[in-house]
Amino acid sequence: MAGESPAVSADLPIVLVLSGHDPTGGAGLVADNEAIAACGGWAMTVPTALTVQNCRDVQAVYPVSGSHIQEMAAALDDLPVAAIKIGLVASIDSLSAVVGIIRERPGIPVIVDPVIKAGGGTQLSAADLVDAFRELLLPRADIVTPNRYELARLAGPDSADDTQRAVSLMHLGCQAVLVTGTDDPVSGADASQVVHTLHRPHGDRQWQWPRLAGSYHGSGCTLAAALAARLAIGEGVVSACEQAQAFTWQALKRGWRPGHDQYLPRRLWQLPDTPFTVPFTTV
């Protein structure tokens, strides 16, 4: 409205998100945007891929060209990015562009969610892309957030257990690995609990969360984006991991099931259900 000025608020830390678009909003850029907003940040989003999918599985993935990714990111060069969150990267051309964008922003925390397989089972990354991911992106990651399947794919067949696999990723150059056990719990583990483990060079940290019933679409995106927001705010790695897990668990607990397939996390569950007050009079 003319004559009105926006409410004064504290600066919001910006998270630059490079990820795929999921039309359901359960995962991808929409999920990242919601999680980052709910955790106190502001997402600037650059799509790396377009997907054809529903709440059951992914039918097709169309990578965005590296030149388009670079052009979109370059338009944001004058903004003070506090963290970078990487999600689905669907081609080596796109990956090269993402790595170039990270190189141009040294010193900014990089959070990588390695999207290798869709929740419905569709493989999203061929072997050559996984190899390039290991060689080009992991050495520039401050923290990687794989589930146990993704950890095994990234580490390769030479490691005997999750700890060795995480150590092998840190030997590549990434600073920390937060392994989630939601989809594929360790053999013999308590089925009523979900165990997430943070591996760092100077020690590990583990959390247990009550396992929720049902299947969820977008839990990994939610966790990694929330973690990126907390790191952008300035929290330490352990505290940021704990806060991101707590937020994700609450979003899943309040998940919404629009059909008969997977639940979608409700990342904005804290918003009030009451209508907004209109600050002007209609005529």
Q: How do residues 125-166 score in pLDDT, each as one tens digit? A: 567 888 899 999 999 999 999 999 899 999 988 888 999 999
- Mean pLDDT over each residue of the chain, to the nearest integer: 90
pLDDT at 119 over 60: no
Instruction: Provide the pLDDT for residue 262.
Output: 92
Instruction: Provide the pLDDT for residue 124.
Output: 53
Residue 63 neighbours by CB distance under 10 Å: 21
Give the tens place of pLDDT for each residue, 65-102: 999 999 999 999 999 999 999 999 999 999 999 999 99
Q: Over range 171-198, report the average pLDDT.
A: 90
Confidence of residue 22 (pLDDT cuts 50, 70, 90): very high
pLDDT at 5 over 80: no
Distance set, CA 262 to CA 24, 68, 117, 247 (Å):
11, 32, 15, 19
Instruction: Provide the pLDDT for residue 216.
Output: 93
User: Which residue pairs, CB below 8 angstroms and at least 24 apart, start in 164-172?
Assistant: 166/197, 166/199, 167/199, 169/138, 169/144, 170/199, 170/200, 170/201, 172/134, 172/138, 172/139
Cα 219 to Cα 62: distance, rounded to the nearest angstrom: 22
What domains can you pick out in the chain, each with its CATH number?
14-253 (3.40.1190.20)
Confidence of residue 123 (pLDDT cuts 50, 70, 90): low
pLDDT at 3 over 70: no
> What's the whole-model pTM score?
0.91
Instruction: Provide the pLDDT for residue 55.
Output: 87
Instruction: Give me the percent of the chain exceeding a pLDDT of 90.
Output: 73
Of 108-117, 254-263, 273-282, the poorest mean pLDDT is in 273-282
Q: Over range 173-189, report the average pLDDT.
A: 88
Q: Over range 7-24, report the average pLDDT.
A: 86
Instruction: Provide the pLDDT for residue 8.
Output: 45
β-pairing verdict for 14-21 and 81-86: parallel
Does 233 or 185 have the greater pLDDT score? Answer: 233
Instruction: Give the amino acid at 78.
Output: D
Residue 150: name the closest of 135, 134, 139, 136 by CA. Answer: 134
